[in-house]
Structure formats: structure tokens, C-alpha cells
Structure 1
Amino acid sequence: MRNHENYNGIFHLSDKQFTGVFNNAGADSILKIFGKSFWDLPETEYLDIHGMLDDGTKASLIDCVLHAQRRHRFDSNSQFETQLFPNYIVVGEEFISSGEPVIKAVSYHFDNVHSLLIGSKTFRSLSPDADEVRRILELDHRQLEDIAEENGWPKTPFEPQIGKHPQLLYFSGLWEIIACQSTMGKISLTNRTSQNSGSPSGIGIRNEVTANIEFPEPQTIKSVLHALRTLHSFFELSLGHSQRYRWIELELQRSTESEQKLPPTARLYWTLGNERVSGDSIVSRNSILLGPERTPDEFAKVLTGWMNSAESLGDPRERFSTAFFGSYSIDRIVGSANMFDLLPESHAPKTKQVDSSLSEALVKCREIFKDLPDSFAKQSVLSVLGRIGKASLRDKINYRADKILEVAGERFPELYLPCNQAVLCRNHYVHGSKSTFDYQENFTEFAFLVDTLEFIFAVSDLIDLGWDFRGWIDRFRPTTHPFSAYIANYSHNIIRLRNLVKK
């Protein structure tokens, strides 16, 4: 499917039609509308605009917002230009709208998806002897003759050219690499091959591994993107790098009865989808945490659990993704701690029971402050009183760290030390409390605190879902994954932090 960049077209909004210029350029995408006056837009935050492009395809510009309005003077006349920014662009055989559940499946390809796989059994170069190649070519020729006879086509003679050392390029025909069923739908990785017919310049088989979600019921564009982000975050964690969406394809529900057997498809352009990705990432196959070929059952189990737990863990995982791929900063340490604050009760230590005397004191304090005039100080005190007996940030982090210590405690001595120091660091930047050391002057130790929180959060999450962390540790080799670097440098960093804190 071709890309759609700069196009003229006829667009319509409700019952009005207008001529526009559509520029599809990621975050710089824009729709320009021209007329004798500024376009009278409905009083809604987001608009859906449909248009027929000059190549005959249908474009649905979803969730458009007003970007700018300009007036151009030409002697005594004026032309008015209204600019709209579309959040999502769907180009294909059918128009769709933001609230319309018509998407049956989504497939997409991203930067390092091939690093998840080995592929040595799927794609190979063979060197059979000349007689074997002749037998294969004869069989293929007979099949082509049968097809030609059925369709009344002319037949071609069998005139193979076979040297002493022929070579064959081989694709196993395995389209579905792995699949699992989740509450969101069927999740799969598939091969999508293409090849040329051969020429003096050679022949080859190209492949794009695609990730797919087949929904049990047709979905809206926003529901699809929620599922896509959930799946994409799993791949990013396993690869250890943010990943650029290369293309996204939708399978649509047919709006009218048709003799065409294949369902209509469309290309989705997510204008802000790659905004947080910078540069090109290099990922080796040895770096991944989970691979569908190396450990297929484990991969399917963890992926299914990840998709099924998106509702309860979506917010803290989204916070993790935002922090994990950012630069080391105050925002990152605060965000890394915030992941644990957002954990649901099922993933945090149980509430502590307070004794009767403390419970009675809490009741009296609440009564005293409840009758005072409303103020920020009053609300702060009531908030603190409400948290007494509940797990603190430190409790939550240590509770999640215990899951790692139970599996591989010997690899992480004194793990509670960076955990506790990370809480003190976060409190310093959020509440202004006293710092243990100068975080800007001791940047290596500061980064170690950030890495510790992110490592504990993600690894404990994967362990809960069924990841064999012990097995990964035992196979451990220094790689490009951030968790690999954390483990390799842990002994050195814990000594530096301990000595710094002692000062």
C-alpha cells in the first residue's frame, strides 16, 4: 500500500463540501481549507472530516482541531484560509468516523520487530544437487501446465537451465509465527513476504514481520489505539528501546454487501505516534527479555497476561514507558516513583492494622480538623491522616523488590539501599525534604536510583505474569538492553552508593 503525503481533494464536513490541500507529515500534518470567508466550524473540540483524494482513495481525518486561520489579500479581494490538524488519518476504501465501531483487526510493523526472532528455520538458502533441482522444476512446470490448461492459456516448453552448483532460496510457508488469545482479541506475529520474478540482477525474498490484533467485535479507532499501545509497550520493554511505528494497517467491516471476498483495508497514519522516538535504535537478538522462538510458551503466557491486565495496570505501565525512555532528570525520578503510587491494591502490600489507641486518636484528629475553615493546610493534614495504616511508597517499592530477591537475591545484595534512597530523592524534589547527597554533583548515583526503580517495577511485573527471570539471569550476557547494563554494573554502583551515603 502506497504512502499518502501531499494531496489535493474534495472534503466534506456534515453537509458542506469544500476544496482543500492535505499534507500528511506526522506531527506537521495539516489540512488547509480555502474560501471567501473563514470556515464556520461546529462548536465541538474535535471534528471528523472526510475527503476524496485526487488518486481516488477515501481519506478520513479523525479528531481534527483548529490550528490556525489566515487571511490573504489579493488587490481588492481576499482569500481566507482555515488550517486544521488531524490526530489520525485513515486512507483506504471506506470512510470511517471516530465513534464508529468498524475496525475488525489491526496489523503493524515497527523498527526492531525482526530482533525478536531468529528465523533460521523459516528462511534458508539451500544447495541441492542438480538432479534434485531438476525434479523440483519438473514438478513446478507440471503445476503451471495444469493451471494454463484450466484457463485456456498457452503452454510453455520445459527448458530449465541448471549448472553444477545450483542454489535455492527457501521460505517454509509458515505464515503465523505465534498466536495467543487475550481478552482484547487474538494476538499474533506473522510473516508477510514479497519477492520479484527474477532478472539478470538476481532474485530474493523479502519479509516484514507484522504484529496483529484480531478483535472479537468491531472497534472504534480509539479502542484500537488503546489495544495497539498496550501491545507496543510490551514489545518495547522486551527490546529495551522505544520503537517507531513504520506502518499501521486496518481491516474494516464492510459497510455494504459486495461480491468481493476480501474485507476492505485502510492505512492508518497516527500523526503523533512517533513523537517520543528519536534516532534509530540498534537491538541484538541476545538483548531481548522474551522471544517467541526462544521460549514460545513463556512468551505467549506473559503476552496474554500483559494484555489481560491492561485495565488494572495501564496507568503505571504508561508512566513506566514515559520515564524509561526519557533522559535522566528530576521528572524521571519523580515519574519512576509515581509508577508505584499508581499500582492497584492487588500489586501492593496489604493495609496495616492500627491499634485501638491510634485508631481513636485518628478519629479525634479528623473531628478537630473537619470543623476548621477549608484550607490547603487542612486538606494536607486530612490527607496524611487518611494514609495512616496504608502502604507507603517505600513499602510498595520494597514489596515489589521482594519478588526479585526471592528469585535471584544473590545477584542484588543491599537492594533495599537504593530503594530507600530513591524515595528520599523523590521526596526531596516533590516535598522539599532534606536530600541525602547532592544529586546533581553525584549524577552516577542519581541515575542508579532511577534505574533501580524502573528495574524493580518492570521485572516484578513480568515475574507476576510468568516470566522465568531466573532462567534469563542464568543465560545472562552483557547486551544492549538497559536491564542488562543494570545487572552488569550493579556491584560497582551499590558500592559507590553505600560509600556516598556513609559520608
Structure 2
Amino acid sequence: MVRSKADYDGLFLPRDGVGTGHLNISGKDTQLKLLSAGPWEGGDEEFRDLHGVLSDGTKASLIECVWLGATDHRWGEETQSEQRFFPHYVLTGESYISSGEDKIRAINYHFENVHCLVNGFKTFGNIHPTQDEFRDILKSEHERHQGIAENHNWGTSEFDPEIGDHPFLMYFSGLWEIVKCHAELGAVSLTNRSSHGFGSSQGVGIKNEITVNLEFANLMPVSKAFQSLSILHSFFELCLGRRQRYLWIEAVLDDKGVESSGRMPPQLDVHWSYCNEQITGETEPTQYGDILIDPGAEKEEFSKMLSGWLNTNSVIGEARGRFSSAFHSGAYGIDRIVGAANMFDLLPESHVPAKIELDDETNAAVETCRKQFKGLPDSFARQSVLSVLGRVGTASLRDKICHRADILIKAAPEKFAEIHLPCSQAVHCRNHFVHGSDVAFDYREHFNGFAFLVDTLEFVFAASDLIELGWDYNSWRAKGSSLSHNFGAYVVNYEGNLRILKGLLKS
């Protein structure tokens, strides 16, 4: 994952000098084999940190290691023990870190399709000046270099450019920071990391990586820092409509005295064993017109949405996690519709209809029924009725989903006036698979109708959430869609799928 040690497969020397080992950094298959003379005496802790040095002298911190087992080899009276560990994180660089230390100041990282978020048309490009304009540009640059050379007593050179009939220039405008927003967790920015050669007969070019930077308001331990990163990353995955592979991650450590010394703070390359576990093959890019928000062109809207996403995670994060698991599962099945429906049950009270205060007469009737059924012998029917009586006045699953759908209806009343119908049928379908209730139509035979119900739940959940965070649905919709994002496909096909659903319910 990280560029320098992504496929490391070699020596590991423990920091305490006891024994030796072999470390293979390979995603979820990462493993350390540690050899020592005599039986293992490392303790019985489930998690541990191990520190050592790699074959090139790089320091390596293996964080939250899980003991996988041991093998003892005996030759007469001599014993050698091989211990196997799985580290959740491997951090390599010039410093050590432990899981209990609040030492991470920031995380910088790059993921597979981050370039799809920003078009960069105003930042990178090429121009075609006239010969005289081109000469003036070269002369200005020559004079700048001559001034530097004179200040350092270097040799000077004559201005002798070679200019053809049709010169052109490729450029980077110098815009390093694309956008920056602030949340309670800290500051998030997207920046350009460009590089270029000096040019030769083989040509010249500019390369760029858009980097996401998460600077924490408070120093973080390893595990909490990367939990925060996963929350941030889930926002980008929703904007792009697909799981996104982490390509490299850097952890910036706190180092007292860095500011006064002028040194760069220490940085560690991070190998997060499970970060790409759910991604196989190459991730298809999302077309620019389909992304939900452009951080470069819609800075204010993006900043408001992202800061809101981070600030509300403690309240709605569990439901968003369930959405992410369903939305990115890649397969339509029973588990997906059950999970998609259940995410609405995980919404906090602030996101669902308020509990209804019952009038005195209704309260009295409910209490009378409760007393009568409590007095009956224990049975399934008795428990079912008591369960229903306990929920009187609270929103049902259908109520919660339709309440969230109302946010969409308000944003686009003509488009989604009838969206309560697929919402209600999705609950009906979920209840069939959970409780065995009757089916509205054959979900296996009419797979497209079933998939429409799943897509409706997921679209209603996420779109209503984003609208509350400040997303301008209508501006996004006005861009059109090439169907490279599931939401674009859902909206384009909505009317047709709604007609099919109505037909299935009549048959």
C-alpha cells in the first residue's frame, strides 16, 4: 500500500536484540515470524506492540499484533521457538511509536480515484504563445537563474534559446491547496503534489497526486487516528459511489521543538493491514459529472458537507456504517435488503419522527390491554402483543423511512412525489425475509423489482443525510449523469422502475 515498503518481505530484528525474525508486509496476509532461543516468554496478552529494524536499517513499529501461534523446535537439549504474529498496523521510518502514545499529529494519504473528484482544468494545462511571447518567457526565466548564480558566485551563461515555429508550454498554476475545511476532529485539506523533470530529448512532463490531509485538533493514538481516517474516507467513497483503494498513507508525528528548529516533523509510512480488504481488482473511475460534489469548484458546499459528516459521526456513524456495508456489497440479496432497512432503525431520535404523546383515553386502553395480556400464560402470541403495545406511539420502520423520504420530496417534489410507494414495499419485502409475512410479488422471479426496492432504501438514506448536511441535490442533478454512480443510475431509471413496480403490484 505505502510506496516504500508495500511489498517488504525480509529481515526483522527486534529492538531488544533478542532473537531474529522475518516480516512479510502483504495487506491482510501480513505476518511476522519471530525466532528466539528457548521457549517463548512474551506473555499472554492478546494484543502487543513489537518494535524492530528492517534489513535497510529502517525502524518498524508493529502495532496491535495478534498472536497466531507458535512452533517449538528441539535438538537434544536445545530449543528454538517460532512465534507468529499478525500486526494491524506497521509504521516504518526513522522513529518508533506505540499504540498507547498520543503522538499522531496528522495523516496524509492518497487513494485510487481521488483525481476523479477534481477536474483540475484551471490548474494544469498547456498554452500556445507566439514566438516573441515564448522568447520573453524564456528570457525572464534566464534572468532569474542568472541572478541566483551571481548571488552564489556561480558561472553565468548567455541567453541563446532555440525556438521553433509553433512553441507551446505545459504548466502547473502553482495552486497547492485545492480546498480546506475545519471540523471538531481537525482540519481536512486536499492538496496537489506535483513533480517534474528538467526536460531532455525524451520530452518533459508534470505528474501530480492529489493528497488528502487530515490534521488533528489533538494528538491521537494509532488506532483512534485510523478510525478517524476511515470515517473521512467513507465520505469520499460515497461521493464517488465505489470503494476506494488506499494507495499510500503517511503519519505525521508530534515532535517537540520542530517549529523552533525548522526541521520537518517526523513522518512514518503506514501499512494498514485491513484497509483494502473489501476491494478486489481495479476500481472503475467515476465520471466527473457523476460525482456528488466537486471539492474544487464547490468549495463552500463541500466544506459544509464534509465538516458536518465528521461532526455528526458520533450520532449517526453506526447507521452510516451499515449503509456503507450494504451499498458497497456488490450483490443484491436477502442480507442486503435486510441491512438496508435496518440502517433506518439505527438512526438517532433527531433523524426520525418524534414519539407521539398519546391522549388519556388511548393511554388507558393500552394499559388495560397490557395488564390483560401480562396475566395470560407465557406464549408467543402474548409476547408479540406486549411487544406491539410497548411500541405504541413510536415510529415504525416504515414511518422512519418515509420520514427520510420526505426530505427528498421537499427537494424535488415533482420527481419523488410517489417515492413512499417503493419505500413501503421495501419494508414489506424486508418483513417477508425477516418475519415470513406474505410477498407483494415474487422477489426472485422479478429481480429488477427487488433491486429497485434495495436501491430506494439506500438512495433515500444517503441522499436525505447529504441534503441535511448541505448538499444541493438539484444542482447535482442538473449536471446530468453517465450512470457511473449508482445514484445517477437510480434517478435516471426511477420513473421506469416505478412503473414496473406498480405493474407488479397489480398482477
Name the TM-score, length of structure 1 as normaliser.
Answer: 0.93
Counterpart amino acid of 1:6? D
Whole-angstrom distance in 2 between the partners of 1:77 and 1:365: 77
With over 3 angstroms needed to count, the CA separation of the structure-2 counterparts of 1:277 and 1:380, relative to structure 1, is farther
Whole-angstrom distance in 2 between the partners of 1:240 and 1:126: 34
Task: Report the number of matched residues.
Answer: 501
Any idea what the Cα deviations from partners look like across 1:92-147, whole Å, max 9, x if unmatched?
22111112111111111111111111111101112222332332223223332333
- The residue that corresponds to 1:114 in the other structure is 115
- Percent identity between matched residues is 48
Whole-angstrom distance in 2 between the partners of 1:155 and 1:29: 54
Whole-angstrom distance in 1 between the partners of 2:66 and 2:476: 47
**Cα displacement (A) at 1:79:** 4.0
Mapping 1:269-418, distance limit 5 Å = 269-279=271-281, 280-326=283-329, 327-364=331-368, 383-418=387-422
**Cα displacement (A) at 1:90:** 1.0
- The residue that corresponds to 1:30 in the other structure is 31
With over 3 angstroms needed to count, the CA separation of the structure-2 counterparts of 1:359 and 1:192, relative to structure 1, is same
With over 3 angstroms needed to count, the CA separation of the structure-2 counterparts of 1:478 and 1:65, relative to structure 1, is same
Whole-angstrom distance in 1 between the partners of 2:379 and 2:95: 55
Any idea what the Cα deviations from partners look like across 1:351-409, whole Å, max 9, x if unmatched?
12223233234445556777899999877665443322111100000001111111212
Q: Does 1:468 align with 2:468?
A: no
Q: Residue 478 of structure 1 contacts residue 488 of structure 1 at CA under 8 Å; is this kept in 2?
A: no
Name the TM-score, length of structure 2 as normaliser.
Answer: 0.92
**Residue 114 of structure 1: SS of its match in structure 2?**
helix
Whole-angstrom distance in 2 between the partners of 1:375 and 1:22: 58
**Cα displacement (A) at 1:410:** 1.6
Aligned counterpart for 2:502 among listed residues 475, 498, 501: 498
Whole-angstrom distance in 1 between the partners of 2:49 and 2:371: 52
**Cα displacement (A) at 1:296:** 2.2
Whole-angstrom distance in 2 between the partners of 1:50 and 1:477: 50
**Residue 398 of structure 1: SS of its match in structure 2?**
helix
Counterpart amino acid of 2:277? E
**Residue 332 of structure 2: SS of its match in structure 1?**
coil
**Cα displacement (A) at 1:179:** 0.9
Shifted more, 44-53 versus 444-453: the winner is: 44-53
**Residue 290 of structure 1: SS of its match in structure 2?**
coil
Whole-angstrom distance in 2 between the partners of 1:428 and 1:44: 45
- The residue that corresponds to 2:269 in the other structure is 267
Whole-angstrom distance in 2 between the partners of 1:492 and 1:164: 57
Any idea what the Cα deviations from partners look like across 1:191-242, whole Å, max 9, x if unmatched?
0011112222111110000111111221112222122112111111111111
Counterpart amino acid of 1:132? E
- The residue that corresponds to 1:169 in the other structure is 170
Whole-angstrom distance in 2 between the partners of 1:250 and 1:104: 8
Q: Does 1:58 align with 2:30?
A: no
With over 3 angstroms needed to count, the CA separation of the structure-2 counterparts of 1:134 and 1:353, relative to structure 1, is same
Whole-angstrom distance in 1 between the partners of 2:244 and 2:186: 22
With over 3 angstroms needed to count, the CA separation of the structure-2 counterparts of 1:36 and 1:353, relative to structure 1, is same
Q: Residue 32 of structure 1 contacts residue 82 of structure 1 at CA under 8 Å; is this kept in 2?
A: yes
Whole-angstrom distance in 2 between the partners of 1:375 and 1:63: 48
- The residue that corresponds to 1:441 in the other structure is 445
Shifted more, 68-77 versus 263-272: the winner is: 68-77
**Cα displacement (A) at 1:35:** 2.5
- The residue that corresponds to 2:179 in the other structure is 178
Whole-angstrom distance in 2 between the partners of 1:364 and 1:20: 71
Counterpart amino acid of 2:221? T
Whole-angstrom distance in 2 between the partners of 1:78 and 1:43: 20
Counterpart amino acid of 1:271? S
Counterpart amino acid of 2:272? W
Mapping 1:12-31, distance limit 5 Å = 12=15, 17-31=18-32
Whole-angstrom distance in 1 between the partners of 2:59 and 2:240: 36
Whole-angstrom distance in 2 between the partners of 1:198 and 1:171: 15
**Cα displacement (A) at 1:81:** 1.7
Q: Residue 5 of structure 2 contacts residue 25 of structure 2 at CA under 8 Å; is this kept in 1?
A: no
Whole-angstrom distance in 2 between the partners of 1:396 and 1:20: 55
Counterpart amino acid of 2:187? K
Shifted more, 161-170 versus 115-124: the winner is: 161-170
**Residue 17 of structure 1: SS of its match in structure 2?**
coil
Q: Does 1:87 align with 2:88?
A: yes
Whole-angstrom distance in 2 between the partners of 1:49 and 1:61: 5
Q: Residue 57 of structure 1 contacts residue 92 of structure 1 at CA under 8 Å; is this kept in 2?
A: yes
- The residue that corresponds to 1:430 in the other structure is 434
Whole-angstrom distance in 1 between the partners of 2:371 and 2:49: 52
With over 3 angstroms needed to count, the CA separation of the structure-2 counterparts of 1:370 and 1:221, relative to structure 1, is farther
Q: Residue 286 of structure 1 contacts residue 479 of structure 1 at CA under 8 Å; is this kept in 2?
A: no
Unaligned runs of 5+ in 2: none
**Cα displacement (A) at 1:62:** 0.8
- The residue that corresponds to 2:455 in the other structure is 451
Any idea what the Cα deviations from partners look like across 1:426-479, whole Å, max 9, x if unmatched?
112222222222222221111111000001001111111111112222332343
Q: Does 1:130 align with 2:134?
A: no
- The residue that corresponds to 1:105 in the other structure is 106
Q: Does 1:226 align with 2:227?
A: yes
Tell me the C-alpha RMSD between the 2 structures. Answer: 2.5
**Residue 322 of structure 1: SS of its match in structure 2?**
helix
Mapping 1:238-277, distance limit 5 Å = 238-254=239-255, 259=261, 261-277=263-279
With over 3 angstroms needed to count, the CA separation of the structure-2 counterparts of 1:424 and 1:201, relative to structure 1, is same
Shifted more, 134-143 versus 168-177: the winner is: 134-143
Q: Does 1:3 align with 2:12?
A: no
**Residue 19 of structure 2: SS of its match in structure 1?**
strand
Q: Residue 116 of structure 2 contacts residue 285 of structure 2 at CA under 8 Å; is this kept in 1?
A: no
Q: Does 1:202 align with 2:192?
A: no
Counterpart amino acid of 1:314? G
**Residue 412 of structure 2: SS of its match in structure 1?**
helix
